[in-house]
Structure 1
Amino acid sequence: MGSISYADFVDRSYEPGETELVCRFFVVPAEGLDAVDAAGRVASESSNGTWAELEAEGSVTDLSATAFAIEPATAGEFEGYEVSVAYPDALFEGGNMAQVLSCVAGNILGMKAVDRLHLRDCDWPEPLATSFPGPRLGSGVREGIFDAPDRPITATVPKPKVGLTTDQHVEVGYEAWTGGLDLLKDDENLTDQAFNPFHDRLTAALDARDRAEAETGERKSYLVNVTAETGEMLDRVDAVADAGGEYVMVDVVTAGWAAVQAVRERCERHGLAIHAHRAMHSAFDRHPDHGVSMRVVAQIARLCGVDQIHTGTAGLGKMANEDTVGINEWLGSDLYGLEDVLPVASGGLHPGVVPPLVDALGTNVCIQAGGGVHGHPDGTHAGATALRAAVDATVTGEDLQAKAAEVPELDRALAEWGTETPR
């Protein structure tokens, strides 16, 4: 029997095993503590330690996390340290993301021993990663649903995002689909309100989808927002399948990862894809010095099984710049055979920024534009035509101005917005 103290959770000569989860944190120690003190507290509190020295018996210490690398680092205006912590696999319940996050991003974010703590990145070991299902289709939706393997797929959200009646919402979708876009998407705060009930919208939108497919000869689909209390959400997933939909949309952060896992299981039964909206993500990732990075949020989403998720626009839209390229690369990386995830670029996009966007992110992406479609001087159909023309031209290497000479709708869009990004 021996005692456990914070110092026992730091070993700078330690080499993590291949089955251990490694998390990298940015840490600013509280006044009076040095980097080693703070690192020991992070590793302790996120595994099996506490503030008081305890007597430990048997294999308890086998479940201790180990802070093994401590290097100077900066985040924004703060100077601190990057601390790498290894967690033994036995610490976690496989397939339980809520439990995993309660360890590595739980109480530690509120400790007085650190002034700032930011979970930057994770290296997921095979036993833990493969305990989750991962996506069902991932970027395979481009070919499997839309027969569009060589170009980005396109989407739009009716604007205003809430307040449209069911008929108005569906008419916007029909105009977007027939203008050339692939996906109609609900926005994050449209679910089942009196002005646009869920079941009415689902049925009417899929009827309009069928008409648009017949008119254009292209596959179309609808990202209907099923977010709700978990039981109700699963009922809505069933309703989408019964109505002939291909997708559901979930506000993954506000719904919670356990609920997302339940949706993933139900979607497997029906053969549906999952579109992840990341509403509330900035509560965790806006500041680089405290919280949880979007990179980690995206990793969690992939493990839990979403097929596509918003990851930013590499500074080409209206949102703050993010590590979009790095996140997208991770979402497309090999992960023990799990499917990849299709990144979605959204927020302030319009036809004029498509070439630099594709140059930065590649073609394995979904491009979503709201105001950049519906704000077109000639309306939604023209805006959709312009966006699709910009995508097609960019993929084939055609100059956008040359394409605009052939497509009046694109010419009007470029005259309206140019090639500048909005604020």
Structure 2
Amino acid sequence: MTSRFVVHYRIFASSRDEAAERAAGIALEQTVEIPRDVVPRGYIEDEIVGRIESLAEEDEGRHLARISYSPDSVGAELPQLLNVMFGNSSIQKGIKVVGLDLGATLAERFPGARFGVDGVRRRAGRPAGGLIAPVIKPQGSDADTLAGIAYRCALAGADVVKDDHGLTDQAMAPFRTRCEKVASAVARANRETGGSCLYFPNLAGRSDDLMDFAGFARDCGAGGVLVIPGLFGFDLIRRLAADETFDLPIMAHPSFLGSSVLSDTFGFTHGMMFGVLQRLAGADISIFPNVGGRFGFSAAECLDIAGACRDPAGVGRRIFPSPGGGMSVERAGDMKQMYGDDVVFLLGGSLLRYGDRIGEAITAMRSALRAANGRAQSEPAD
């Protein structure tokens, strides 16, 4: 006996009757995609068609529908699970996905992250506290320049050094050349410091090259990979996370996904897109735009993401939220207070202002996080 999974939809409608009609339409649209009066009786009607489990008014003009679906509609395919959740309905206005109860059957089929918070900490040699992840950039730099930046960051105690998501397989720094040189530079810094900094190259280029690139990254000593599911699909993350021969943590970048969350009345909530779906695919670290930066996410939206990443009741292992785009050494203390310890702090363009002294910024960031931790421990409990 399989257990059905439940998707929570926020439906914008002027009355309960309209909301009920829209919910019934979602249940059909996401499964059989035919009029209700021609649904075949028996297995299809009883099992396949979506069921409205509940419908309640949240606020004026907003209703919450919980619709369950059969795992038989999904099989073991992540793209089809996403398709059943919000395929055709994503093309309609006034519907927003706000929650997912995976159920026991699909929880076995989609175990989530291979490493999660604890596994990444072990690989990075950082058992407690926030992780620091500088980004090597800009696009147009050659591989030696990028390797030099990575070396100085790793030497200063960075936990993760990652490619900028705009570094793909361009002629200026081709993937294999860049990956080899940066991985070697980070390994040299680790030998000199005794550290465990991890290099995450951006797994990008033509889609038919990606699995070969992943194997190359592993073989030349990368500590993980960066993947852009908005461009290459969530199933690439699932495929890598399930591959026991690959066995590296995966960091997911939000590029091309913004339009899925920016509307108040359709798409996904921030926590669903950058928390739940990333965990479902198997990402270990989920990058998202930080509050106060140039992308306009609010504090509440960022905390929604962080909560979805780290919810013990979520899909599989807890994963790291990774705020970026507006992170700086100066904001480290406030961000530590906001996000706590289980977080990867992404440092991007602001680091380049330090030039050859970029390592000083990493050291200052670590000191600021430690100072913030000390303040937190000394504050009296409520």
TM (norm. structure 2) is 0.89
Aligned to 2:366: 388
Q: State whether residues 74 and 81 of structure 2, in contact with CA within 8 Å, keep that contact through their aligned partners in structure 1.
A: yes
Question: Partners of 1:140 and 1:387 in 2: how far apart?
Answer: 22
Aligned to 2:86: 105
**Kindly tell me: are residues 354 and 395 of structure 1, through their superposed partners in 2, closer, same or farther at Cα, counting changes over 3 Å?**
same
Aligned to 1:69: 54
> Quick one: which of 230, 253, 256 aligns to 2:230?
253
**Kindly tell me: are residues 362 and 55 of structure 1, through their superposed partners in 2, closer, same or farther at Cα, counting changes over 3 Å?**
closer
**Kindly tell me: are residues 386 and 317 of structure 1, through their superposed partners in 2, closer, same or farther at Cα, counting changes over 3 Å?**
farther
Larger Rg: 1
**Kindly tell me: are residues 283 and 336 of structure 1, through their superposed partners in 2, closer, same or farther at Cα, counting changes over 3 Å?**
closer
Map 1:361-380 onto structure 2 (within 5 A): 361-376=339-354, 379-380=357-358
Percent of aligned positions with the same letter in both sequences?
21
Question: Partners of 2:302 and 2:280 in 1: how far apart?
Answer: 18
SS at structure 2 position matched to 1:269: coil
Question: Partners of 2:4 and 2:30 in 1: how far apart?
Answer: 14
Aligned to 1:135: 113
SS at structure 1 position matched to 2:196: coil
Map 1:166-181 onto structure 2 (within 5 A): 166-181=143-158
- Give the deviation of 1:323 after TM superposition: 2.6
CA-to-aligned-CA distance 1:138-182 (integer Å, 9 cap, x gap): 11244311221121111111243x111111111111122222222
Does 2:277 align with 1:296? Answer: no
Map 1:83-162 onto structure 2 (within 5 A): 83-94=65-76, 96-111=77-92, 115-160=93-138, 162=139
Q: State whether residues 314 and 360 of structure 1, in contact with CA within 8 Å, keep that contact through their aligned partners in structure 2.
A: no
Question: Partners of 1:137 and 1:131 in 2: how far apart?
Answer: 17
Q: State whether residues 316 and 357 of structure 1, in contact with CA within 8 Å, keep that contact through their aligned partners in structure 2.
A: no
Question: Partners of 1:376 and 1:179 in 2: how far apart?
Answer: 13
Question: Partners of 2:332 and 2:294 in 1: how far apart?
Answer: 10
SS at structure 1 position matched to 2:34: coil
Q: Structure 2: give runs of 5+ residues left out of the alignment.
A: 378-382
Map 1:278-317 onto structure 2 (within 5 A): 278-297=254-273, 298-313=275-290
* Equivalent position amino acid for 2:20 in 1: V
Name whichever of 17-26 and 248-257 sits farther off: 17-26
Aligned to 2:324: 346
Q: Structure 1: give runs of 5+ residues left out of the alignment.
A: 1-16, 400-423
**Kindly tell me: are residues 386 and 55 of structure 1, through their superposed partners in 2, closer, same or farther at Cα, counting changes over 3 Å?**
closer
Question: Partners of 1:49 and 1:200 in 2: how far apart?
Answer: 48
SS at structure 2 position matched to 1:302: helix
RMSD across aligned positions (CA): 2.7
- Give the deviation of 1:183 after TM superposition: 1.7
Aligned to 2:242: 265
Q: State whether residues 131 and 343 of structure 2, in contact with CA within 8 Å, keep that contact through their aligned partners in structure 1.
A: yes
Q: Which runs of 4+ in 1 moved over 4 A?
A: 314-318
Q: State whether residues 280 and 315 of structure 2, in contact with CA within 8 Å, keep that contact through their aligned partners in structure 1.
A: no
SS at structure 1 position matched to 2:316: coil
Aligned to 2:26: 42
TM (norm. structure 1) is 0.81
CA-to-aligned-CA distance 1:285-304 (integer Å, 9 cap, x gap): 11121112232222222122
SS at structure 1 position matched to 2:124: coil
SS at structure 1 position matched to 2:321: strand
Question: Partners of 1:336 and 1:184 in 2: how far apart?
Answer: 27
Question: Partners of 1:72 and 1:366 in 2: how far apart?
Answer: 37
CA-to-aligned-CA distance 1:364-414 (integer Å, 9 cap, x gap): 111111133222487422222222221222233399xxxxxxxxxxxxxxx
